[in-house]
Amino acid sequence: MAERGDIAERKQSRDLDSLRRDTATAARLLKQAKMDELHKELELTKAQLDYAESRLSGDSTESE
């Protein structure tokens, strides 16, 4: 028969494992969110550079 100390120790171990998994999940989600934000910023910067390049090369259709 298992002693109460063993049961409490196993419960504590399970709780700690659960917290570790939850922490790892939260970290992955935060990293993914940051990557999505960076991707959007990169796309915006690329569009701005493309626009600037077209203006510098004289390909702009806008009248000045």
Quick: pLDDT tens for 4-57. 779 999 999 999 999 999 999 999 999 999 999 999 999 999 999 999 999 999
Predicted TM-score (pTM) of the model is 0.57
Which ranges of 1-64 would DSSP assign to H, the alpha helix?
Answer: 4-57
Quick: pLDDT tens for 40-49. 999 999 999 9
pLDDT of the residue at 61? 58
Torsion angle defined by CA atoms of residues 9, 15, 17 and 19, in that order, rounded to the nearest 10 degrees: -150
Q: Please calculate the CA angle 23-28-34 and round it to the nearest 5 degrees.
A: 125
